[in-house]
Each structure stands twice: as structure tokens, then as C-alpha cells.
Structure 1
Amino acid sequence: YTLGLTVLVLGLTTLWLACGTLARDIDECQLQVVAVKPVARWQIWLGKWIGIMFVNLLLFGIATTVIYVQLQWRAKRLSPEQQAVLKNEVFVARGSFKPAVPEMQGDIDRLMAERLKEGQVAEMDRGELRKLVTGMVHAQYQLVRSGWVRRWQIDLSSVADQVKDQPLFLRVKFYTASDSSSKQETYRTQWDIGPEQGPYRQRELQSLSPESFHEIKVNPGLLDANGLLNVEVGNLNDDAILFQFEDGFEVLYREGGFLLNYLRGVAILFFWLALLAAVGLAAASQLSFPVAAFVSIALLIVSFSTGTMRTVIEQGTIREVDHETGMVGNPNLFDAVSVVGFKVLLSVVNVVRDFSPVEQLSGGRSISWGTVARAGGQIVVLMGGVFALVGITLLQSRELATAQNQG
């Protein structure tokens, strides 16, 4: 949280500084003095960006170093048991494996054909019907009824030698079919881990709360001869429980140490500051300081409104929808244009929002060098390059002599 707050404060400061340093130089006629010399305007723009990033590098470097030292110092004051948990679950870079999603297309097509034979259902929109049938089939594969057992088999052969003497962790999350009024606080589950015919098999009886992530420690040496980890969960409750494909089950293993992982996460956060500096300078290349700051902050707010955009895209409208179907009754041209616009905007925002290093670091997740390279390419080179090109073009075409009168 401290790291996230640091990035928030520095990000807003960067945006404000980027807007102010260029806009005020133009408004106060300082840039005009430089522009008449044999210095290209793109060099002026790039020099501003580099100067801001040097300031960010100094401040962010000090802040992240202090945060790391403080983390280590506070960790040493914990009990040995808590330090062990911290070492295995937070101060670590953990990779993950998820089970493969089963092939369900045949079941979906078969159930779809059966439903179309029913007169009332046959009148429904085919797209909506297929969506409903797909949800039903997915639920059948994800559901664990009362007294039933669900099995997963995870292929860890690629890291078998690396993890054979290390504990693994199951990260699980389930939902229930009960309404909120009758929902229990915890649900009893039985976990059997290890080779089915092996001499050693780990059994865990766990009372877990629904709709929350839980981690179950797996003892070393429970992979079979082929590097497969077999896991079974038994539902000991009267109600059914459901493990979703997306986040219901995964296996975590130690991939590396915390310091290098922390530095990789810090690098991605620094890329965000580089993009914010480019956004602020691009706005200030054409607008006065107050307007540039307003536009930049508005863009920042839009980038955090992806939930609203996804809802509009799913429902096909920005108007009120039918509460029974969840869709709009009679979509018009305005709805169609809005949905297309939000799709384009969401795809652009997702280019830079696919990276969440603070969340990964707090969960002990590994941030690979490939992720860092991809983040640098998408955030700095692609999106930062677009804003830099826009900013340089606007500054190149701007009549600096009239800027003071316009302000």
C-alpha cells in the first residue's frame, strides 16, 4: 500500500509538473527565446521529458529504497512463525500453474440442440440462447455438489527438479449457490493431495469462507513420477460449491527471491511515471496550464473507468436495460456508436492496464523479465511514443508568438 500511495503521489506530481513546465514556459515567452536558436522543437520537448524523468528517478529511487528497508526492518520484529509465513508467501517470487480448461464445445452444441426443440426457447435470440447454454455447461464443470469430489491434475514436470524439496501452495476460491440470507460463514472441505497410489498422501480438513482467496500449504515430495500434482477436494456441506475456471484453483511455487522481483516491479511503476510525463507534456504543447492539467487528469480518470466501459459493451447500451434480460430492448444508432467507441477506448486503455506490480508483489507473485520488457514496450514505447508524437507535432505547429495573447 505504501508503494501504491508513493506512485499515486508521484504520478499526480509528474502530471502537474509536466503540464506546468512547458505551458508556463510558453505563456511567459521563455520558450520563444530558445526556439529562435538552432534547437529543434522536438529536442526541446524531449529535453523536458528527460528532465522530468531524472527528477522522478531520484525521488522514486529514494522512496522505493526506504520502503524496502522498512519492510525488512519490520519483518525482523515478527515472531519466527510469522517470519516463516512472510518468507514463503510474501517475500518471494512465486510462479503459478493453472489446470487446463476442459473442452466443452461438444456439450454446448448438444445442449443447444436440445433446447431448440422446445417451442418457447426456439423463439429466443440465438446469440442470447448460446450464452445461457454456455453458462449452464460451465457451471456443470465447475460445480461440486454435496458429497461429491472434484479432481485436478497439474503438470509441474517443467519445474519438478526445482520444487521437489520445496513446499507448494494451493490458491483456491469458491462460490456457493445459496442466497446471502442462508449462506454459511465457512464451508467444510477435505483436500487430498499427492499420488493416488503413493505411500504418502497429504489430507487437509479445511473450513473456508466463500468468495475469498485461501492458500493451502502442500508438503514437499508429493509429485508423482511424471511431475504431476494430483489434488482432490471433497464437499462436506449440504450446499454445492463452485470453483470458477478463471480464479478458482492454481498452484503456486517458489521461482526466485524477493529483492530482484521487487526491482522488476519498481521498474514497471517507473514506466507508468514516464507515460504520465508524456501525457502532461502532450497536453501542454497546445493548451494553457489550467486546461492542460484538466485534460490530463480527465484522461487519467477515464483510464480507471474500465468497469463502466465493460458494462456498456456487455449490455450494448448506455441507457437503462431490461432487468429481466440484462439487455436493451431497442438499441439505436447512438447506442451502437457508443459501444464501438467504448470498445476502441477500452482496447487502448488495456494496453497499459494489463500490469499490476503492486498487487503481484503483495501476493508474492513473480514478475518475469519478459513482463518487464512487455510493459516497457507497451507503456513507454507504444503509448508513450504516441503521446510524444502528438505533443511534438502540436508544439511544432504552434504559433509561439501568439501564445501570450491567447493566455
Structure 2
Amino acid sequence: MTGLIRIHRALDRLQKKLWVKITASILFIAATTAYFSPVLYTSYSYSNNARSIANALTGPEGERFTRTLRETGSVTIDGTTRSIPEELAPVLFAEDGSLVDLPLTLTLMLQDTIPTWAPSWLLQQPTTTWVFFCVTTCWLLFITWMNLLLPFILTAIGTAAAVGVAWLVGSRDAMFALGGIGLLLFTFVLLIRIVSLLLSGPNQVLAIAHTVIKEASRSRISLIFIMLLLVILPMLPFWLDPEAPLRHRVQTFISRGSGATFALCACMTLVLACATVSFEIRDRQIWQIMTKPVGKFRYLLGKWLGIVVLNVVILAIAGVSTFLYIQYLRTTSVAPGLQGDLDRLAVQEEVLTARKKDLPNYEPIPEELLADLVEDAVLNDPQNARYAGNVPPTILRGIERQIRREIDFTRRTVPPGVDGDPGMRTFFFDGLEEVIGTSSPLTLRYRLMLGDADETATYKCGFVFNDDPATLQVREYVPTLSHVTLVPPNVVKPDGTMSVTILNFYQRAPGSAIGRIYFEEDDFEVLYKAGGFEGNFLRAMLVMLVKLGFLAGLGICCATFLSFPVSCLCAFTIFMAATIGPYLAWSLEYYVPVEANRVEWSNIGVAIQWLFEMGIRQIARASVFLLEGFGRYRPTNDLVNGLMVSWGTVLGSFLRLSLIWSGLVLVLGWLVLRRRQLAIYSGGQS
């Protein structure tokens, strides 16, 4: 053992020598350049070929090239013959012969140009290739110059041994999991070293943040959550259903990976924020800091900054690992042949993208009509006779809300067919200017209900775009299940509008009242591509970081006047209330106690019940007013559904949660700390 220690110390001294660092840096740069140079060349070649084919298919002679490709399955462009599988022609071309999905067509025509020795997703995106080239090179250089070369080699040897054992037993998932655990743990150590170096400047706020980082890397309270996350993430693929469609597997992994990351980071943030302040007050360590002197607000700001920086490290590691496995997962096939290609198409077009959605645009309800309907409802309700024409405003508002709901429901219904003719209703969409001139298809998502029909049976409906019979699409659907259909982008008019007519082929039986199609407000929408998955994933991580920043401020604020257990209880309660804020707001629409003038006050039991219900409603309304915004920012749901997390969302969350909410809770904590006698012992063991 003594000999091993001497060898380790000698190697440690060796890795710190300048010539070793320079030699290792040259070798690392040469290795990454040797690997990524052909990848970059192939990536740019793929991009140029894709651009050339796209220009040919959409240019002046695009109709001729498209017709040739549709009829023969191949086409010659710039002297090179490209082909597509004949069985995919119904998916790629519309009934009128136009090309529906240009991106998928390009992928199929160029799939034979992708070498097997490199990830296909990396070759198709030159920018992403450059990012990974630079990140990998910098990662290796940081290892070298941060004196972590020896730990890196030892970690690599140990991880390789574990992966080798998994390979011998034939477990591919275990190989990925064990390799990922070793890589993530070492990357965490490296990033902690880097941020500690960055926070070592001669500044009071940075110094306090630096102590928080050191505390987090040594404290069992925070390390439990960190290690749990770094171990769970590589093992998530074990829990994916191997028989599920590829799209569902990718969506499940995004949901579980991002959800587990945020949940564990949130718990760690609250516990660490409460512990780092309350323990220093309890153990009198804060006396030494305040006598430096360090201002109380700078003290709290330093604590907040340290926790936020720690979350940056964890989110960076978790985000990169999640992103890499998603890219690996998207290239796998669950179903063979044509179905496998269609699964990858669904993942590319519906999940790993950034889409905007547009709901039907309804004409506003005329105020005169609404007033007449409210008046008729009041006159036809016998209970309103006792008001003698002076109905309270609260009752009038309730009647108006109910009438609006009924009108909105009527607008979202399609009558059944009669005498062999289908029922129909037209819906209008606007604001689709971004789609004009693009090649990616639109996605029409619908989830239809059909009266009292069997929810397991299959029914037919149709869609006609812009009142053009040539655009008719007949589709089968199962009530209550979501379905999608692709729409060529050329159906959007130059002014960015589009109309969709739903045809209801269900024939109503004589004397029957069922058969009408209807849908909820968010269950009939048009989605179109507005960006890539990479940028969308980054923006989602930033929104998570902003939310964690607020939780850090919340925990610090609670710890300034409460002991550790009580501050944790208070902070977690507020966190849960903020998370369910949107659901609470929705339930408040239906939780409305009766008006006070209808309460039988002589009945003590009824009066107490009414006061109790009204108190619950007011508390819920206050919680929604204060905390609803936190729960409305849900980037994981947007990632799972392929919806765009815009920079406006990132900026809005930053302004609302970071500047306003976090600022307010830190100021509140400062006011408490300012008036608190810190020299007085405050709980715990003496």
C-alpha cells in the first residue's frame, strides 16, 4: 500500500509539470482534430448536397424533378442520381403530386452518404458538430491544466473495466449506464474546480458564493441529491419500454430525464439554501462573517449566487447527458423497414423540433347578443324573481360566463351527416406568415369526441383546406385519442391565413340526437416548425435555471427567521403551492360558494360551512395571485410535445422570477436579518 501511495504521489507531481501538460494538450488536440475533421467534412458535404437538392426540387424546374422522383423513385441532380424507397411515396407526396415533406425526402435521398463510423445526427448539423468539437477539446484541455489528468486516467480505467464487465455479460444498456456514471461524476468534479477558480476573486459576494460551492461539494445534504441525479440519469434508459414506438420512447426519456433533473435540483436547492443560512446562524459562524465587515444583503446575495452557480453546473451536466442520449435514441429503430423510417420521421417532425402552435380564430361574441341572452336567462329563471328586477352583479357575471361557455362549445361542434351528406364546419387560422416559403410541412393535431359513441371504435372524418376540394384528406380517428396529419405548407395563403373545414361522415339515425363531433379548446391546432431542437433544449434549461434561482432565494429568505426544519417545511410548502398554481386557478372556476345573500344565516351549521368554503376560496385565490406564474413556466412539457420555448419565455421568466420574485424574497430576508439580533443564540444544540 505504501508503494502504491508513493507511485500515486510521483504521478501526481508528474502531471503538474509544464512539459507534461503541453504534451498532453498537443495529443488531445490532435486526437479530437483527427476524429472531428472528417466528421466536419462529411457534415458540410451533406449540408451542401441537401441544399442543392432542395433548390432543385423547389426551383423553376422543381415540378419536373418532383414528377420524375414520384414516377420513377429516383432523380438525377448535378450529375448524381438520388433515390427514395418506393413504399414511402404515399408519405412524401400528396394526392395532387406535390411534395409534402421536403426534409424527410432529403434525409432519404442522402442516407447512403452517411458513414457508419460517426453518429448520423451529428453529420447532418455542421453547427452542432462544431459545438461538440470545441466542447470536447476544451473539456480535455481543462482536465490537463486543472491538474486532473491523473484522476481522469484512473477514472477512465475504472469505468472501462466496469463497461467491459457489462459487455461480457451482454448488457448494452448497462454499458451505457456505467460509462455515463463515470463520465458524469468526473465532469462534476471538473466543473466544480472551474467554478471555484472563477469565484476566487477578491470580492465579498464572490467569496461567500465560493464558500457555498465548497460547502455543497462536502456536505452530505447536497451531495445526496447530486450523486442521486448523476447516477439516475444514465440508468433512465433501463426503464424505457423496448416495445413502445420510437416517438414514445424519446418523449418518455425527455420527460423523465428533464423532470428528474428539475425535481432533484429543486429539492437540493431548497435544502441547501435553508441549511447554509440557518446552520451558520445556529452555530454562530455568521458572527465571524458580519464582523469582516460584510453587509447583510451582500451576504444573502453571495449565498444566492453560490447556489445558482451550483445549479448551473448540475444543469450543464444533466442537460448534456440527456441531450446526447436523445441523439443516440433518435437513430435507433424499434420497428423494422418502412415502419422504422416512419417512426424516425415522427420523432424528427413532432418531438425533436421547435414548433409554434396556432388555435382557431373565432369571431368575438357581439355584446348586444350577449346582453340579450343574459336578460333572457334572468327572466326565465324563477329564482331571480325575488330580486324584483335588481339582480346582483355577481349573479349576472355567473350567467354571462355560462352563456360564453355554451357559445364556445357550439362553435367547436360539427353536426352529423344527414341523408348521406357529411356535416361540416369551417375553422379559420391566422398568424401563419412564418410558414410562407418554407419546406417543412404543417402538422394538424386533433382530438375529437363523438357524442355517446364507442370510444374504442374507429370513425371517419375529413379535412378540406381553403375550401379547395382537391385538398380533401379523409382520416380515421378514435374518439378521445390524439391524431395528427401533415399539411403541405403551400396551403397557407399569402396573408398568413388558412381555413380548415372538418367533415363529419357519421350519419345520424332518425330520431337520434347523437353524432356531432366536438373538441376541447386546445385539441384542434396547427403546429409548424419555427426552430431546431438544440436551441429549444438550451432555452428550456435556462427557464429551469431561472425557476431554481427563485427557489434558492425562497429558501434563503425562510432561513433568515426560521430554524432549519421549519424553514424547509415552509419553503417546500410554497414550492408545492407554486407548482400546482395553474391547476388551482382552473379549479377555482368551478369552486364558487353561493352568494352571501342566499345563505341561511339563522342556521349556524350552514353559516359556518359557508365561511369555511369562502375562506378556502380566498386563500386559494391569494396563492394563485402570488404564485401562479411559477407553475405556468413548464419547459419540460413543451420539449416533450416539440413546442417552442421562445426567448420571450426565457426573458419573461427571468424578469418575473429572477428580478422581481427573487429580488423581493432576498430584500425580505435582508429586512429580517437587519432587525435580527444575531448575537443571540437561536436554537439547536449549544
The Cα of 1:127 is off from its aligned counterpart by: 4.2
Is the partner of 1:315 in helix, strand or coil?
coil
1:152 and 2:427 matched: yes
Deviates more, 1:264-273 or 1:149-158: 149-158
Q: Please report how far the alpha carbon of residue 47 of structure 1 lies from its aligned counterpart in structure 2 after TM superposition.
A: 1.0
* CA distance, structure 1, for counterparts of residue 265 and residue 381 of structure 2: 61
Q: Quote the Cα distance in structure 2 between the aligned partners of 1:115 and 1:405.
A: 63
Contact 1:189 1:233 in 2 (8 A): no
Query: Are 1:39 and 2:291 an aligned pair?
Result: no
| CA distance in structure 1 between the partners assigned to 2:355 and 2:670 by the alignment | 42
1:74 to 300, 310, 329: 329
For residue 340 of structure 1, report the CA deviation from its aligned partner: 3.1
Shift of 1:336: 4.0
Q: Residues 234 and 45 from structure 1, CA distance in 2 versus in 1: closer, same or farther, beyond 3 angstroms?
A: same
Kindly indicate whether residue 271 of structure 2 is the aligned counterpart of residue 16 of structure 1. yes
> Which secondary structure state, in structure 1, belongs to the residue aligned with residue 445 of structure 2?
strand
Question: Does 1:206 find its partner at 2:482?
Answer: no
Give how far 1:133 is off.
Answer: 3.0
Contact 1:115 1:122 in 2 (8 A): no
Offset at residue 274 of structure 1 (A): 0.7
Equivalent residue in structure 2 for 1:232, among 468, 487, 501: 501
Structure 1 unaligned regions, length at least 5: 323-328
Residues in 2 aligned to 1:160 and 1:304: alpha-carbon distance in whole angstroms: 34
Q: Report 1:56-71 matches (<5 A).
A: 56-71=311-326
Name segments (4+ residues, structure 1) moved above 6 Å.
none
Q: Which residue of 2 aligns with 1:241?
A: 517
Q: Aligned-pair distance for 1:313?
A: 6.0
Q: Residues 230 and 268 of structure 1: is their aligned pair in 2 closer, same or farther, counting only changes over 3 Å?
A: same
Mapping of residues 379-390 of structure 1, within 5 Å: 379-390=657-668
Query: Relative to 1, partners in 2 of residues 1:59 and 1:130: Cα closer, same or farther, differing over 3 Å?
Result: closer
Which residue of 1 is the match for residue 466 of structure 2? 195
Please point out which of 403, 406, 418 is paired with 1:133: 403
Distance 2:284 2:405 in 1: 63
**Partner Cα distance (1:75, 1:190) in 2:** 32
Superposition deviation, residue 161 in structure 1? 2.6
The letter for the 2-side match of 1:88 is E
Structure 1's 220 and 305: CA in aligned 2 closer, same or farther, altered over 3 A?
Answer: closer
Cα contact 2:414–2:516 (8 A) shared by 1: yes
Relative to structure 1, is the Cα distance of residues 311 and 203 closer, same or farther in structure 2, using a 3 angstrom cutoff?
closer
Distance in structure 2 (CA, Å) of the matches to 1:175 and 1:374: 36
Q: Using a 3 Å threshold, how does the CA distance of structure 1 residues 234 and 348 change in structure 2: closer, same or farther? A: same
Structure with the largest fraction of strand: 1
Equivalent residue letter for 1:142: R
Match for residue 35 of structure 2?
none
Instruction: Letter of the 1:218 partner, please give it.
Output: V
Partner residue of 1:112 out of 341, 354, 374? 374
Aligned counterpart in structure 2 of residue 340 of structure 1, from 580, 593, 618: 618
Q: How many residues align?
A: 392
3-state SS of paired residue (1:403): coil
Q: Given the superposition, is the C-alpha separation of residues 43 and 133 from structure 1 closer, same or farther in structure 2, using an over 3 Å criterion? A: closer
Q: Are 1:222 and 2:486 an aligned pair?
A: no
Distance, in Å, in 2 between the alignment partners of 1:121 and 1:214 is 45
Aligned partners of 1:146, 1:58: CA distance in 2, in Å? 57
The verdict on how the C-alpha distance between 1:99 and 1:120 changes in structure 2, with shifts beyond 3 A counting, is same
Gaps of 5+ in 2: 1-254, 334-339, 387-394, 418-422, 509-514, 599-605
Structure 1 letter corresponding to 2:268? T
Aligned to 1:326: none
| More moved, 294-303 vs 368-377 | 294-303
Aligned-partner Cα distance in 2 for 1:337–1:112: 29
TM-score scaled by length of structure 2: 0.53
- Partners of 1:350 and 1:251 lie apart in 2 by 27
Task: Please give the secondary structure, in 1, of the residue aligned with 2:428.
Answer: strand
Q: Which amino acid aligns with 2:266?
A: G
Determine if contact 1:111/1:133 at 8 Å carries over to the other structure: yes
CA distance in 2, matches of 1:119, 1:343: 29
- In structure 2, the CA distance between the partners of 1:173 and 1:403, relative to structure 1 (3 Å rule), is farther
Q: Output the CA distance in 2 between the equivalents of 1:386 and 1:71.
A: 38
Could you say which residue in structure 2 is the equivalent of 1:265? 540
Q: What is the Cα deviation at residue 384 of structure 1?
A: 0.9
What whole-Å deviation, never above 9, does each CA across 1:215-249 have from its counterpart, x for those lacking one?
221134223454432211112234222123x3132
Matches within 5 A, 1:335-374: 335-374=613-652
The residue aligned with 1:256 is 531
- In the alignment, does 2:262 pair up with 1:7? yes
User: 2: CA distance between counterparts of 1:301 and 1:197?
Assistant: 50
1:60-117 deviation digits (Å, cap 9, x = unpaired)? 1101100000100111112332221111111111012222122224443333344444
Match of 1:99 among 326, 345, 360: 360
Contact 2:530–2:644 (Cα < 8 Å) also in 1:
yes
Does residue 90 of structure 1 match 2:351? yes
1:403 and 2:678 aligned: no
Alpha-carbon distance in 1 for matches of 2:643, 2:505: 31
- Among the aligned pairs, what percent are the same residue? 21
Does 2:455 match 1:184? yes
Q: What's the C-alpha RMSD, in Å, of the aligned pairs?
A: 2.7
**Which structure has more helix as a fraction of its residues?**
2
* SS class of match (2:362): coil
Q: Which has the larger radius of gyration?
A: 2
Match of 2:436 in 1: 161
Contact 2:433 2:494 in 1 (8 A): no
The CA distance in 1 between the partners of 2:580 and 2:531, in whole Å, is: 34
Counterpart of 2:343 in structure 1: which amino acid?
Q
Contact 1:193 1:218 in 2 (8 A): no
User: Which amino acid is 2:517 matched to?
Assistant: I
**Equivalent AA in structure 1 for residue 526 of structure 2:** V
